[in-house]
């Protein structure tokens, strides 16, 4: 009948709050609140040497910290397994070509490039972590401002790094192709989007899809201990594409609105 | 570390020479252009290790070799039965550089171990093993493409060989799609095709029940219709591999029971060629550019 415990339909998300630029010491940051799930992502851009296999590109490194505030299971080393799973999924998504233009992160081929360290903090865990994390990472990368840098070489061969004087002169990343993760959980014979903790406990298996804004899938993963019928998988993929496209349009609208307000924006912060 | 004058210090960092090869040189010799729906011959043998309760070895023509061992059920402290999977790659398994032991490599292996466990969990009747722990180790000796798929087949065979109660065997199949807007999905790619692919997918199926037990894919696969076609192709491939795995289990059981007198034991199981797909004629393979 398309009715869940909290009154939502099968394809409805809980109320999502996105705010960027919450932490001032980072190159970019974002905070996403999805029901009871709270994620904070900070991006720091640092200069380093490019990898040997890709000398003309920069790269991204992901780290996830499941803090003990999120749920009591994360105390000590309990959250490590979940953290590794999230990191691997993020690497899998961003290793696809054209997700982020890594060539723009290169300063001098083979010598200098930008490395973006993306740190994800789980502040509160209320179900549907992957979706919230992907939205937060996309918003944080949209918000990232990388200063423009030139590396000059003297006659003796010593390198000098020149940072531009204007603090607003920076490179921005194009996040149009960054996908969002949609997790569809199979409960009984229907599937639901954005499961709460109780719904996750009832579901036998879920399918994790990474959907771009044009409706293309870049990553597909089955999670959970149950098995899925091939027909359900096809239905879930169609639902994921539909839901993903609407999610992307609303997220882009919010990010553009925040961008256009600029410094006049009222910052809600952590107490709002 | 202080310099030891008696030893010749080697370079601190080492790189493989292939990194500096021009792109054309590194290409392998011409492989026979197989049709998109053809499966590579598969050799599967169960019951080879003496120290493990169950074991299996799967080899795909083209070089993928996986060895899998199951130990258990062992006594565990927790109340529920658990299946712990460990996926290891031999350091020399891939064609590129020897991977440096580090967090990145360990994380990737843990991801594949988790994928193995999530694919095998629907098949194993863990409820029959309370307070027990089943430990499964998969070792990829050589990566010639579709490594995870071969590991899934080997793991299921090893669990069956160990006598663990299962609902059905799990069969794995790998697919990949070359870059390009209209490229088709191919079953069981070779290592070179997998490296050059734009999207990769591994499908694990419970053939008797017709349920998909595991799915792991990434890349620019295109719209959901393209991925759906890939899943269908993978399911069909798994169904064709199923009789080969069952036959290898029967052979292992015969070997264990001792063959009747007069029949010499087969020296080496010949690799089984999977049956060609029946159905309407397939379109001819695409022309090479």
Residues contacting A122, CB < 8 A, separation 6+: A38, A39, A64, A65, A66, A67, A70, A74, A79, A129
**Which pLDDT tens digit goes with each residue over B98-146?**
777 667 778 888 899 999 999 999 999 988 888 899 999 999 999 888 8
CB contact under 8 A, A228 and B212: yes
In the CATH scheme, what is the code of domain A16-264? 3.30.230.70
Pick from B231, B199, B229, B226: which is nearest to B215 by CA? B231
Contact A233 B232 (CB under 8 A): no
Percent of chain B with pLDDT over 70: 79
Q: How confident is the model at residue A80 (pLDDT cuts 50, 70, 90)?
A: confident
Contact A229 B212 (CB under 8 A): yes
Q: What is the dihedral of CA A244, A249, A255, A259, to 10 degrees?
A: 160
Question: Which H/E stretch holds residue A92?
Answer: helix A80-94
Nearest CA in chain A to B206: A227
Mutate: best of B13, B103, B218, partner A, most A CBs <10 A: B218
Model pLDDT, residue A121: 92
Count contacts between A and B (CB, < 8 Å): 103
Mean pLDDT of B225-253: 91
Taking an 8 Å cut-off on Cβ atoms, the answer to whether B118 and A229 are in contact is: no
Q: Which pLDDT band, with edges at 50, 70 and 90, does B272 fall under?
A: low
CA dist B164 and B72 (Å) reads 9
Q: What percent of chain B has pLDDT over 90?
A: 38
The predicted structure's pLDDT at residue A67: 77
Determine the pLDDT at residue B3.
61
Out of A141-155, A238-252, B75-89, give the one with best mean pLDDT: A238-252
A44-48, A137-141, A210-214, A260-264 — which is least confidently predicted?
A: A260-264
Q: Which residues of A touch B206 (CB under 8 A)?
A: 227
Predicted pLDDT of residue B289: 45
- A235 reaches B (C-beta below 8 A): no
Domain ranges (residues) in chain A:
16-264
What integer is the mean pLDDT of A134-138? 94
Residue B6, pLDDT above cutoff 80: no
Considering only CB atoms, which chain A residues are within 8 Å of B123?
227
Please tell me which of the candidates A205, A218, A229 has its beta carbon nearest to residue B219: A218
B-proximal residues of A, 84-113, CB under 8 Å: 84-85, 87-88, 91-93, 95-98
Q: Give the 3-state secondary structure of residue B284.
A: coil
Q: Hey, are the CB atoms on A228 and B235 less than 8 Å from each other? A: no
Selection from B178, B150, B133 nearest residue B238 by Cα:
B150
pLDDT at B266: 54
Q: Do B218 and A228 touch (CB under 8 A)?
A: no
Q: Which of residues 176-215 of A touch B (CB under 8 A)?
A: 205, 207, 210, 215
Q: Locate A2 and state its tokens.
A: 């398309």
CA distance A184 to B69: 33
Cα of A63 to nearest chain B Cα, Å: 11
Which of A113-122, B149-158, B253-262 is the least confident region? B253-262
Question: Does the predicted TM-score (pTM) go above 0.80?
Answer: yes
């Amino acid at each position: 009948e398309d009715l869940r415990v909290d009154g939502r339909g099968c394809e409805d998300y809980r109320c999502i709050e996105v705010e960027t630029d919450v932490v001032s010491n980072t190159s970019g940051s974002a905070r996403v609140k999805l029901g009871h799930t709270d994620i904070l992502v900070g991006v720091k851009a640092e200069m380093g040497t490019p990898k040997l296999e890709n000398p003309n590109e920069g790269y991204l490194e992901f780290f996830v910290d499941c803090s003990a505030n999120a749920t009591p299971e994360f105390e000590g080393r309990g959250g490590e397994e979940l953290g590794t799973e999230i990191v691997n999924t993020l690497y899998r998504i961003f290793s696809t070509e054209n997700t982020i233009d890594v060539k723009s992160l290169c300063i001098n081929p083979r010598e200098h490039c930008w490395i973006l360290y993306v740190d994800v903090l789980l502040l509160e865990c209320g179900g549907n972590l992957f979706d919230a994390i992907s939205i937060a990472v996309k918003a944080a990368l949209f918000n990232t401002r990388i200063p423009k840098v030139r590396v000059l070489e003297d006659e003796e061969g010593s390198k000098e790094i020149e940072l531009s004087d204007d603090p607003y002169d920076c490179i921005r990343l194009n996040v149009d192709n960054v996908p969002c993760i949609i997790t569809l959980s199979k409960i009984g014979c229907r599937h639901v989007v954005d499961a709460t903790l109780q719904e996750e406990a009832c579901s036998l298996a879920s399918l994790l899809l990474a959907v771009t804004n044009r409706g293309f899938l870049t990553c597909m993963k089955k999670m959970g201990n149950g098995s899925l019928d091939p027909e359900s998988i096809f239905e879930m993929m169609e639902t994921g594409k539909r839901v993903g496209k609407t999610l992307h349009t609303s997220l882009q609208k919010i990010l553009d609105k925040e961008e256009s307000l600029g410094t006049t924006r009222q910052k809600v912060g952590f107490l709002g | 570390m202080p310099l030891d004058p008696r030893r010749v210090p080697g370079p601190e960092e080492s790189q493989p020479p292939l990194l500096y090869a021009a792109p054309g040189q590194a290409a392998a010799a011409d492989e026979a252009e197989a049709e998109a729906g053809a499966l590579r011959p598969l050799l599967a043998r169960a019951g080879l290790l003496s120290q493990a309760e169950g074991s299996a070895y799967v080899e795909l023509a083209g070089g993928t070799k996986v060895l899998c061992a199951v130990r258990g059920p062992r006594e565990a402290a927790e109340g529920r039965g658990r299946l712990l999977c460990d996926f290891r790659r031999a350091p020399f398994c891939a064609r590129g550089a020897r991977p440096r032991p580090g967090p990145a490599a360990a994380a990737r292996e843990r991801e594949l171990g988790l994928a193995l466990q999530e694919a095998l969990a629907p098949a194993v009747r863990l409820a029959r093993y309370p307070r027990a722990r089943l430990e499964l180790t998969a070792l990829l000796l050589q990566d010639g493409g579709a490594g995870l798929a071969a590991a899934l087949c080997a793991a299921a065979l090893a669990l069956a060989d160990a006598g663990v109660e299962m609902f059905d065997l799990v069969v794995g199949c790998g697919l990949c799609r070359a870059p390009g807007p209209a490229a088709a999905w191919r079953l069981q790619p070779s290592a070179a095709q997998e490296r050059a692919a734009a999207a990769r997918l591994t499908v694990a199926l419970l053939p008797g029940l017709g349920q998909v037990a595991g799915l792991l894919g990434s890349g620019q696969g295109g719209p959901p219709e393209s991925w759906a076609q890939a899943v269908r192709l993978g399911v069909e491939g798994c169904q064709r591999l199923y009789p080969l795995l069952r036959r290898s289990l029967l052979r292992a059981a015969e070997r264990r029971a001792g063959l009747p007198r007069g029949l010499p034991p087969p020296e080496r199981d010949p690799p089984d060629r999977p049956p060609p797909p029946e159905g309407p004629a397939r379109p001819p393979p695409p022309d090479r550019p």
